[in-house]
Structure 1
Amino acid sequence: MRPAHVLAVHLSPVHAFSKSMTTAITLLAGLGVQGDAHCGETVQHRSRVARDPAQPNLRQVHLLQAELFDELAHRGHAVRPGDLGENITTRGIDLLALPTGTELRLGAAAVVRITGLRNPCAQIDHFQPGLMAAVLDRTPDGALVRKAGVMAVVLCGGVVAVGDGVLPVLPDGPHAPLQPV
């Protein structure tokens, strides 16, 4: 089995639901993806800017595991990399199982720190009816499970390209489960 790797990378200079695929993106320390509408030290998501534009941007990079697309296909949803607005699509790593604060080394130099889960919004159903329910689940005890990827901040900048490795480095001390950010 191939080690964890970057399957695809995406960006969009405008606030759009999906992002365009490219061969490589450049991560900028403390900012996000160069040329992406969500790049910045403070929040860039329109709903969050409306509430408080001075909030720190904990959603600089959106990562999503391609295994979700496999699951969605079995449920009748055709979703491809970039469709759900992620910047980096991975394969071979369970991003949702990683604790808050996990660092991901991407390619030769880039490092991001996972801040939390993407909280899917109604735009997902506008993209494809029924998709919101498909990216949510429940644990046996009824807790909500969000499967639409993780959000991260950029610690070390660098180029991230298709085929690059993804190496997780778990945080020291007790591990906190991911929460929506």
Structure 2
Amino acid sequence: MADGHVFAVASDGFHRFSKRLVQEIEVVAGLGVKGDAHEGVTVRHRSRTAVDPTQPNLRQVHLIHAELFEELEAKGFEVGPADLGENVTTIGVNLLALPRHSVLRLGGDVKLEVTGLRNPCAQIENHQPGLLTAVLDRGPNNEVIRKAGIMTVVRAGGVVRPGDTINVELPHSPHLPLERV
């Protein structure tokens, strides 16, 4: 039984904040989305390559839950699939509650391993003023809650399309909470 499904997919070969909606993406094991600016074994995010270009790419595929868009709309923001730079927009999966090393099976072949939370950056604020604050929250112990999606690495590649099912496989216990990557 599916836990959820793919709502939209996006890619962009250039380092822009938002990505381009497409009909399908091809993900490649160990690399990410074929042709995307963030595809690679080593980190591709410009701020991180400036610090250490040899660090592993733990951000090969970025996923955001479509339910976030409704929450943001209620706060006065107009945000849709690919606007926040994600490759895969999901629906029906509580991405932020997943433990590290969970595996998401998309469609029949693709396996993505969850590495952590996306840390929203100032580019979100440039996209729409006030949006950075809107994708951050505070928990009961005043801890920062990041809502801008999760990052994954590709364990098995294939093609991903809107409508594909998503099945979640939890790792063995103990479950490790998501941290920013």
TM interval, short-chain normalised: over 0.9
| Cα deviation code 1:104-163 (max 9, x no counterpart) | 000110000000000000110100000000000001220100000000000000000010
The aligned counterpart of 1:70 is 70
Unaligned runs of 5+ in 1: none
- Report what 1:43 is aligned to: 43
Which structure 2 residues correspond to residues 107-118 of structure 1 after superposition, within 5 A? 107-118=107-118
Are 2:156 and 1:156 aligned? yes
Instruction: Give the TM-score normalised by structure 1.
Output: 0.98
Distance in 1 between residues matched to 2:35 and 2:107, nearest whole Å: 19
Aligned to 2:133, the other structure's residue is in SS state helix
d(CA) in 2 for partners of 1:82 and 1:173? Answer: 33
Q: Take 1:140 and 1:3, find their aligned partners in 2: how far apart are those partners?
A: 28
Q: Which residue of 2 aligns with 1:89?
A: 89
| Paired amino acid for 2:129 | P
Output aligned runs, 1:139-150, within 5 Å.
139-150=139-150
CA deviation after TM superposition for structure 1 residue 52, in Å:
0.5
Aligned to 2:80: 80
Q: Measure, in 2, the Cα distance between the counterparts of 1:35 and 1:49.
A: 18
Task: Give the aligned residue type for 2:154.
Answer: V
Runs (4+) of structure 1 exceeding 3 A deviation are: none
Once residues 141 and 41 of structure 1 are traced to their aligned partners in structure 2, the CA distance between those partners, rounded to angstroms, is 36
What TM-score results when the alignment is normalised by the length of structure 2? 0.98
Q: Which residue of 1 aligns with 2:23?
A: 23
Write the distance in 2 (CA, Å) between the matches of 1:73 and 1:63: 19
Secondary structure class of the residue paired with 2:155: strand
SS of the equivalent of 2:101 reads: coil
Paired residue for 1:137? Answer: 137
% identical equivalent positions: 57
Check the 8 A contact 2:3/2:168 in 1, yes or no: no
